[in-house]
Amino acid sequence: MDAKTAADSKTIVTDLVLPSETNPINNLFGGELLARMDRAASIAARRHSRRIVVTASVNHVAFNRAVPLGSVVTIEAKVSRAFTSSMEIYMDVWIEDRESGECIKANEAIYTFVAVDETGRPVKVPELIAETDLEKERFEAALRRKQLSLVLAGKLKPNDATELKALFIS
């Protein structure tokens, strides 16, 4: 199975914020952004694995900046690391300024997808080659995030989360 780069899975989704997608103060509803990111991440995971993919966990979401009604929102999703059957997808969310066209970073999120066969059983995915400095940074930290997610899900004993523990214990 040939390794892939993050660029191979790069997925860009651009869409408007409409009135039915906002909260009472006219900003994008958080759940709507989560759903848009889930779609973008699933396409990136599919491009990396060329398999059926399912969302295994939402590892991190930071709603740093409100997204006002009428905004043009762009989600950029890329696989940041591939393990055996799971892939971490890192997403950056941008809002486009109407007048200048400048893109301002609004949010970011990290999801985990698993490639499965037709019966839902996990299958192997290609390795990921990180190329840029940012991709290498995200790749390095991904194992800690996987361990944290598994510990929180009760699927890994804290004592076995060696990479994660190394952050706190020298």
Ligand X SMILES: CC(C)(COP(=O)(O)OP(=O)(O)OC[C@H]1O[C@@H](n2cnc3c(N)ncnc32)[C@H](O)[C@@H]1OP(=O)(O)O)[C@@H](O)C(=O)NCCC(=O)NCCS
When the beta carbons of 108 and 126 are compared against ligand X, the nearer one is 126
Indicate whether 149 belongs to the interface with ligand X (CB under 6 A): yes
Site string for ligand X, 25-44 (x = CB under 6 A): --------------------
Tokens linked to 76: 């950029």
Q: Which of 17, 45, 106, 114 binds ligand X (CB under 6 A)?
A: 114
127: nearest Cα among 95, 80, 166: 80
In the complex with ligand X, the residue whose CB is nearer, 17 or 142, is: 142
Q: Which two tokens stand for residue 136?
A: 């290498």
Which of 83, 96, 134, 136 contacts ligand X by CB under 6 A? Answer: 83
- Considering only 50, 65, 98, 155, the residue that binds ligand X (CB under 6 A) is 155
Residue with Cβ nearer ligand X (41 or 67): 41
CB atoms within 10 A of CB 21: 19
Burial of 40-78, coded b for 16+ CB within 10 Å and e otherwise, reads bbbbbbbbbbebebeebbebebebeebbeeebbbbbbbb
